[in-house]
Amino acid sequence: MREKLEAIRRAAENAAKEAIDEKQIEELRVKYLGKKGELTALLKQMGSLTPEERPKMGQLVNEAKGQVEKLVSERKVKLKEKAVELKLKAETVDITMPEKPVNCGGLHPLSIVTNDLIDIFQSMGFDVLDGPEVETDHYNFECLNVPEDHPARDMQDTFYLADKILLRTQTSAAQIRTMETRKPPIRIICPGRVFRADEVDATHSPVFHQLEGLVVDKGVTMCDLMGVLEQFAHEIYGEDVNVRFRPSFFPFTEPSVEVDVSCTECGGKGCRICKGEGWIEILGAGMVHPNVLRSCGIDPDVYTGFAFGIGIDRITTTRYKISDIRLLFENDKRFLEQF
Amino acid sequence: MKVSLNHLKKYVDINVTAEELAEKMPLAGFEIESMEKQGEGIKRVVAAKILKITPHEDSDHLQICQTDIGESEPVQIVTGAQNIKEGDYVPAALNDSFLPDGTHIVSGKLRGVESHGMLCSGEELGLTEGDYEGAGVYGILILKGEPVPGTDIKEVLGLNDTIIDFSITSNRPDAGCFLGIAKEISVVLGTEFKSPETSYKTVGGNIDAYINVSVANSDLCPRYMGRMVKNLRIAPSPLWMQRAIIASGMRPINNIVDITNFVMLETGQPMHAFNYNELKDKKIIVRNAQEGEKIVTLDGNEFALTPDMLVIADGKNPSCLAGIMGGKESEIEDDTTDLFLECAKFRRDNIRHTAHALGIHTESCARFQKGVDINNVEYAMNRALSLIYELDAGDIIDGTADVRGELPKNRIIKTTTDKVLELIGVDVPKDIMISILNKLGLETTLDGNEMTVSVPSIRDDVEGRADLAEEIMRIYGYSHIKGRPMRGEVTRGRKLPERVKADKIKSLLCAAGAREIATYSFINPAAADTLGLKEDDERRKMIKILNPLGDEYSAMRTQLVWSMLSVISTNLSRKIESARFFEISKRFKGELPLKAQPHEIPVLAIGIYGEDEDFFSLKGIIEAVMKLCGAHTEYRRSDEQYLHPGRQAAVYANNTLAGTFGEVHPAVAEKLGIETRVYVAEIKLEVLYGIKRRKPTYKPLPKFPAVERDFALIVDVDTPIGDIQKAICSGAGRLLEKIKLFDVYTGSQIPQGKKSVAFSVWLRSNEGTLSEEQTESVCTKIIDKLTKIGGELRK
């Protein structure tokens, strides 16, 4: 019987080693350890042994059973691991294959830039307002210190809809509406669409976008204007750009300045982009003209203020190096997808 | 304003290079539009003496010249010109030389004969007659005198001038002349300004004996000054004057005309010369034109005049369009003997309107439009007479006709240095402030902090402390301004609620895969026809632009759909297979004829197309937008002309019509060249802005299981799914958790005129697991409701 036990044990051992999948190992378990298994059968034959031998033999059989069980379960784990391994290997994907796309849309580049500008000024405490696109002569010109016979009216070609009703040529009109309804301290920006009768070409569009800024308070100086515009320039053009004022003329500001930033392409040394000047003109600004304050019921002897007008389209085309402003209004999907 | 730098040096010491000047002036408020250096581009062109000319054997027009170019050996140059002779001094472009137009000259052979350069004409050197006498001649330029052979031609021709084009802002018409810009340069450079000569001698007589001057409309002509000059000696003007005139873009004509033009360029004050002998009745009347009057101007054009136009008339007819252009009849010609010289101020808006109405633009009217100084009239007149005297162009008669009211006095500005500096935020030393203002001709005295500034009428733009601040800073230097962070009361920057909502909608649409577009606010009014809008459709009432860039852009849009469809059409034509677009912009609605600002209605337009898109993809986007805004939506059939009659809907937000959407009508699509199915929507944002979104409150997550039941029923094919859905909802009551359509079917096994519809319904109670009885009772109610709308449960 011992020989038989040993033979079974060895056979089971070998079978366990050779089993190649979970099914075989399960068969093996049934064959040796099951209710009708060979080892179980051996136990059942114990009756034919002497009482002395019975416990010894019983112990031996149980030992063998334990060994086989261990072998089986070990082999089972191994085979399972192997099976998982094989499965994972078989499931390997080619990660260079194209993704299943998530179709995200996106904002128009003009909106992206406008939002960036809004963020900058909002963080400095400016309220963000809107104004009508169709304006009256009163708000677009008269209150902005541009009387009827003023040559400054020749500076901008205006679209008229009726006598004294026009498409606003500048977001500055919003200045007046603000000052009429708010009391200082005033800090507002007004981004929006403006119109000029320019024939369409690579750098001109009859529809374009501006962001007007206005601050009115006691003791506001050109140094505050410079401070605000420096913040803006650093956010938009980079921390290391310099800002300079150049005298200019706008009827609604005095003093009026053109604002330049050092060329972002060459750092101010002079290149093709800045036409060798080292500076790029970015916006017009100035201290609110006393006549403008007065016409809005604000005492220019008590309050001072500054205003600036930023060309959103210009920033957009320079930021993204868009060579033709018409692309902004053509809305080719392949263009829009680049931003 | 283009001006010769050499000429400017007559009025001001310019101790810097042209480049340095061009860097400094913009910082004082005068941008440089362009700078043109005479002779720029000319390289290795020298004065040559023609030693010997021999004919070319193989050509009947070429000649072979041996030239002395200052080297030991003569240089052989072949030329086609015939106007040269031995002993002439001429410009020779040597081997490897350049001409102003970029032409590169190298040695070569002309019909077999070696030529080591080219003899040049004036034109080839970029010269005109005004630059150098003989430069306009056809043929080689023959040099004056005997220049040393080999001398650089630029030196020989005096091509050392630079023409600078200064940009003059519209508040500074006073600076738009030689004297004005020279004064500015003198202040910027800190050098001396020299006024030109204004004295002259007269020959006696009295102007009153020659002419009677009257002004009938002193409102349009605040000052009219006239002088008589007899015995004109018409001749070409001197070269220096011609050069100055040419540099500024005008044409020299003769001494008298040139003097009037030169004085205009120099002083900014236009002048006009009349042929005295053509003035009828010996009268000058400044008056409005009469109905039906006509004038033939100097350029030979005839204009019909209207009574709002100001003319200078003689006793009979208009002789000059005031401030704009003279009449042909009284033109100064070579044989004119007597001159009536005009110098006046006309009102700028009247000149502008007349010039605009007649379509004339002249140097004179440009200056009157910008505004001339009434006190400068006399100075300009004296300067012109002084030049007539200096050039001996005629005999000046005594007496001046000067019709005017009282001349304006200097404006006195009283302020304090603090008040001025308050705007700038920079501590400019007081003495520097005063000295800058005085140098600029703004006579300033200081008493403690009190400033008194006397502003002459020529600086009409200086009105108060802000202007003084600017004058000081543009000379003192804006580089002194150092930025500082904003100060004062802390304010919170807020967006308008409409913008906040629009931004949210935009974000949602982006997440839904849509690209934002930007289109013009004005469209072609024919868009109404393209869209097939009904005759009485409000959207046909477009506000027209009075001065549009063309029909294409002539009407303010009353809808955004047309722009959207145009963009889609463009994309389709470029083989872009699918897209989702949106735009938030305004449509314009006003009572016509327009008397007041129109309503600007913010609108959302959506347009989608492509293989995977259909009516319901668009409906899904719209539903998402509505939900975002907290709107309870309802869809009803609509009647939009540009949409497919069976595939369109009106969307209602909280019972208010918000917009329409659907598939574009094939007829409309065809007109726009669209060959695929396109879906568009237009939603009035005001409706959505007006909705208050309820703040969500947390509801506990369900503790008890849901029961799912399917309902399959047969209904009339026309029964809206929405009605069935409503019936189920009302039957299920508050136990309804979710409802989902999973099948709509017509065809075999379904009777004609019917359809099969199947819904899954989930019921759940928060109080406990639904019992079989509870569920059945709800289902019965649902079936009741379904039966009421004609539904029959499929067994």
pLDDT tens profile B290-338: 999 999 999 999 999 999 999 999 999 999 999 999 999 999 999 999 9
Long-range (24+ apart) CB contacts under 8 A made by B625-630 are B625/B505, B625/B508, B625/B509, B625/B683, B625/B688, B626/B651, B626/B653, B626/B658, B626/B688, B628/B504, B628/B505, B628/B508, B629/B501, B629/B505, B629/B653, B629/B688, B629/B689, B629/B691, B629/B693, B630/B691, B630/B692, B630/B693, B630/B694
In this prediction, residue B60 has a pLDDT band, given cuts at 50, 70 and 90, of confident
Interchain pair B547, A159: CB under 8 A:
yes
Confidence (pLDDT) at B250: 92
Confidence (pLDDT) at A155: 56
In this prediction, residue A332 has a pLDDT band, given cuts at 50, 70 and 90, of very high
User: Is B595 in CB contact (< 8 Å) with chain A?
Assistant: yes
B779: left (phi over 0), alpha (psi -120 to 50) or beta: alpha
CA B101/CA B301 separation, integer angstroms: 36
**Average pLDDT value for residue range B89-107:** 92
Confidence (pLDDT) at B483: 92
**Average pLDDT value for residue range A101-128:** 94
B413-480 and B707-793: same fold?
A: no
Confidence (pLDDT) at A154: 60
Compute the mean pLDDT over every residue in chain B, rounded to the nearest whole number. Answer: 93
CATH code for the part of the protein at B207-404: 3.50.40.10
Distance of CA B695 to the CA centre of its chain: 49
Which residues have C-beta within 8 Å of that of residue A133, sequence separation ≥ 6?
A167, A168, A192, A193, A194, A195, B521, B586, B600
Mutate to test the interface with B, among A155, A166, A279, A331 (most CBs of B within 10 A): A331
CA B67/CA B87 separation, integer angstroms: 9
In this prediction, residue B133 has a pLDDT band, given cuts at 50, 70 and 90, of confident
Cα dist. B364→A254, B214, B216, B242 in Å? 29, 22, 22, 18
Interchain pair B29, A247: CB under 8 A:
yes
Enumerate the domain spans of chain B. Answer: 2-37+165-189, 43-157, 207-404, 413-480, 497-689, 707-793
The residue in chain B having the minimum alpha-carbon distance to the alpha carbon of residue A114 is B503
Residue A203 neighbours by CB distance under 10 Å? 13
In this prediction, residue A273 has a pLDDT band, given cuts at 50, 70 and 90, of confident
Interchain pair B516, A336: CB under 8 A:
yes
Interchain pair B486, A162: CB under 8 A:
no
Interchain pair A221, B520: CB under 8 A:
no
Confidence (pLDDT) at B230: 96
Confidence (pLDDT) at A78: 87
Mutate to test the interface with B, among A117, A135, A140, A222 (most CBs of B within 10 A): A222
Confidence (pLDDT) at A53: 82
CA B121/CA B117 separation, integer angstroms: 13
Q: How far is B506 from chain A (nearest CA, A)?
A: 8
CB nearest B170 (choices: A105, A151, A304): A151
Record: fold of B707-793:
Alpha-Beta Plaits (3.30.70)
Residue B659 neighbours by CB distance under 10 Å? 23
Query: Which of the two residues, B144 and B539, has the higher pLDDT score?
Result: B539
Q: To which H or E segment does residue B648 belong?
A: strand B643-653
Cα dist. A220→A133, B320, B448, B469, B595 in Å? 29, 52, 24, 14, 39
Q: Are A284 and A250 in contact (CB under 8 A)?
A: yes
Token digits of residue A243: 């800002």
Distance of CA B727 to the CA centre of its chain: 62
Most confident of A278-292, B74-88, B514-528: B514-528
CATH assignment of B497-689, given 3.30.10.20, 3.40.50.1110, 3.40.50.1980, 3.30.930.10?
Answer: 3.30.930.10
Give tens-digit pLDDT for B689-698: 999 888 889 9
User: Is B493 in CB contact (< 8 Å) with chain A?
Assistant: yes
Q: Mean pLDDT check: name the lowest of A66-75, A313-322, B552-561, B759-768.
A: A66-75
The residue in chain B having the minimum alpha-carbon distance to the alpha carbon of residue A209 is B518
Token digits of residue B557: 């849009």
Contacts B369 to A, Cβ<8 Å: 151, 154
Interchain pair A130, B498: CB under 8 A:
yes
CATH assignment of B413-480, given 3.30.56.10, 3.40.50.11400, 3.60.150.10, 3.10.290.10?
Answer: 3.30.56.10
Token digits of residue B712: 């399959």
Confidence (pLDDT) at A156: 59
Query: Which of the two residues, A65 and A167, has the higher pLDDT score?
Result: A167
Backbone phi, then psi, for B394, in 5-degree steps? 175, 175
CA A137/CA A157 separation, integer angstroms: 13
Query: Using H for helix, E for strand and C for coil, what is the string for B345-379?
Result: ECCHHHHHHHHHHHCCCCHHHHHHHHCCCCCHHHH
Q: Are B58 and B117 in contact (CB under 8 A)?
A: no
DSSP B711-746: EEEEEETTS-HHHHHHHHHHHHGGGEEEEEEEEEE-
Give tens-digit pLDDT for A175-222: 888 888 888 999 999 999 999 988 899 889 999 999 999 999 999 999
Contacts B433 to A, Cβ<8 Å: none
The residue in chain B having the minimum alpha-carbon distance to the alpha carbon of residue A139 is B597
**Average pLDDT value for residue range B404-408:** 92
Mutate to test the interface with A, among B33, B480, B491 (most CBs of A within 10 A): B491
Confidence (pLDDT) at B68: 93
Tally A–B CB contacts below 8 A.
257
**Average pLDDT value for residue range B85-93:** 93
CB nearest B493 (choices: A121, A135, A290): A121
Contacts A256 to B, Cβ<8 Å: 470
Q: Mean pLDDT check: name the lowest of A11-25, A128-142, A223-237.
A: A11-25
Confidence (pLDDT) at B626: 96
**Average pLDDT value for residue range B543-565:** 94
In this prediction, residue A17 has a pLDDT band, given cuts at 50, 70 and 90, of confident
Confidence (pLDDT) at A151: 61
Q: How far is B370 from chain A (nearest CA, A)?
A: 6
Confidence (pLDDT) at A152: 60
Interchain pair B600, A133: CB under 8 A:
yes
Contacts A117 to B, Cβ<8 Å: none
Is residue B193 scored above 90 in pLDDT? yes
Residue B45 neighbours by CB distance under 10 Å? 26
User: Is B520 in CB contact (< 8 Å) with chain A?
Assistant: yes
Give the architecture (CATH level 2) of B43-157: Beta Barrel (2.40)
User: Is B616 in CB contact (< 8 Å) with chain A?
Assistant: no
CA B142/CA B88 separation, integer angstroms: 7
**Average pLDDT value for residue range B452-470:** 94
Report the sign of the C-alpha dihedral through residues A9, A13, A14, A20, in that order.
Answer: positive
CA B53/CA A195 separation, integer angstroms: 67
Confidence (pLDDT) at B173: 92
CA B134/CA B157 separation, integer angstroms: 11
Q: To which H or E segment does residue B296 belong?
A: strand B294-296
CA B149/CA B490 separation, integer angstroms: 77
Confidence (pLDDT) at A9: 83
CA torsion A290→A295→A297→A300, rounded to 10°?
10
Give tens-digit pLDDT for B417-455: 999 999 999 999 999 999 999 999 999 999 999 999 999
Give tens-digit pLDDT for B590-602: 998 999 999 999 9
Give the architecture (CATH level 2) of B2-37+165-189: 2-Layer Sandwich (3.30)
Cα three-residue angle B3-B265-B318, rounded to 5 degrees = 145
Is residue B761 scored above 60 in pLDDT? yes
